[in-house]
A = this chain, B = another copy of it.
């Protein structure tokens, strides 16, 4: 059965009403449109019935009212680049995918009070360009995913980024929401909002904004976002741990540094395989099938690329004196466990020149690599690390999604869903202690290897007390057996996690049925709210297990 055979067409009257409400050109039902929105990198097969592009909160509201009248299932997405969770997929056929790309206004930027007001179609690249072009001394946090991701979309799925403003939902302040029945509500204030709508996060009365994250209780059409004032001084740092026996010390030292307010960024701690997937593809190793890399292959690749078993990256900000002092504190706490390199803007420009020259001269390359103790490829990532910790997005890291693809990855216009890559995110969140994390990671590695897949883990600081142990199941979608193993691995990781008493910080549709597995009371509460706000169950039924 091809996807076209099983396409569920909307009632012509519904299509006509949608066309009248938001414009015929913004209601798409061609096979190409449906194809584009019916694929992600996860092993799932469902086909939408239409793709709609409302241009304003009023059009979102109108579309939702039509959905209620015709009992449509509307799946709203900011940018639709939530690859590896489930992108623009609905669990079942027949969804009306609502993409908010056209709602991409940057409504306000306030320098004095350091915030912006944006619509859900605004991308990381757009917001950052806007700030630079208009001379605002403000940084907007981004992720190390696609530069074309939706700033609000990510925040509403409670994604995390890089800088001290990296808790994306935590830095939203003041939301406008279209309820499933079509009413437009400004949470925390009236029609014009109080003047502190984007300044005081809790408003007055019940604080409701959290309800509209990781949920299907409404469509957020606008929100305030706190921005980071450009500091006087900034350094990024890279910390390479070559001896894995230091792992417990490193984790516990970082926890203490975070609790003490020294580490304020969403510190990233990645294993060797993460670095390798950014630098290379499996086809380059002439491995197109079979299991995970052998220890010998990993050792060779580590050596070839100068990759450490664990690499950590973060940033420090403040006055020049504060940055100097933080460097000294980090050196004292971490120096004995690995190699700590601080990069200032000045040093970065030197590094960039040396890298550029070294790529042109094999001799200089050798000298540079020897002096740096790593490969030019690894050095190449330093500018990206440095910029992303200032909120400047890059597509450099998301290229890892192509690791197991049989095709060469593109140099730009990265789109792993379009390009048939296989990738599933598994995102458990753990207490930030070595005694919680290490046994869990060891077990997970074993599960990956049992599935014949390579263990990819990036540990991202959620806050000083908890850490997301983000695992990426990279697989070859053109290999049916490997796809089956990837899917089974996800299921077993999920089961292990729940048995160990943990949960994901964020999940795609493969896990939604399990979100409330051990929380029937919470599910009933969510269902009561859902029924009150969305009696016809039109918005994203089943999202996070609700509706």
Interface residues in chain A, defined as those with a beta carbon under 8 Å from any beta carbon in chain B: 112-115, 158, 164, 169-170, 179, 183-192, 194-196, 199-215, 217, 226, 229, 231, 255, 259-261, 264, 317-319, 321-322, 325, 328-329, 429-433, 436, 462-466, 500-507, 515-522, 524-526, 528-529, 531-533, 544-546
Contacts and interface: CB of A to CB of B under 8 A. Distances in A.
Given A196-B430, A436-B195, A532-B531, A515 B205 contact: yes
Contacts of A203: 503
A500 B195 CA distance: 9
Given A189-B503, A210-B207, A200 B429 contact: yes
Contacts of A114: 259, 464-465
Given A192-B501, A521-B183, A463 B200 contact: yes
B207 A211 contact: yes
A196 B205 CA distance: 27
Contact of A503 (B204, B431, B462, B526): B204
Contacts of A519: 186, 189-191
Nearest to A184: B521
Contacts of A521: 183-186, 191
Nearest to A531: B532
Contacts of A430: 195-196
A204 B207 CA distance: 17
Contacts of A515: 204-205
Given A112-B433, A199-B466, 8 more contacts: A169-B207, A170-B201, A183-B521, A189-B518, A190-B518, A190-B519, A202-B214, A206-B217
B465 A506 contact: no
A184 B524 CA distance: 11
Contacts of A261: 164, 264, 317-318
Contact of A202 (B169, B189, B191): B169
Interface of A is mostly: loop
A285 to B, nearest CB: 36
B205 A318 contact: no
A183 B527 CA distance: 14
Contact of A546 (B188, B206, B433, B529): B206
A264 B328 CA distance: 22
7 contacts: A183-B525, A186-B522, A196-B429, A199-B466, A200-B462, A207-B213, A231-B260
A179 B522 CA distance: 11
A255 B229 CA distance: 12
A168 to B, nearest CB: 11
Contacts of A528: 532-533
A195 B433 contact: no
Given A429-B200, A502-B195, A544-B205, A525 B260 contact: no
**8 shortest interchain CB distances as A-B pairs:** A207-B210, A190-B518, A532-B532, A206-B215, A190-B519, A199-B466, A199-B465, A200-B466
B518 A158 contact: no
B210 A318 contact: no
Given A196-B429, A214-B204, A185 B465 contact: no
Nearest to A525: B185
Contacts of A465: 113-115, 199-200, 226
A466 B194 CA distance: 12
Contact of A195 (B186, B211, B501): B501
Given A215-B206, A465-B226, A544-B205, A522 B187 contact: yes
Given A204-B504, A205-B545, A429-B200, A260 B318 contact: yes
Contact of A205 (B202, B322, B501, B526): B526
Contacts of A210: 202, 206-211
A121 B260 CA distance: 29
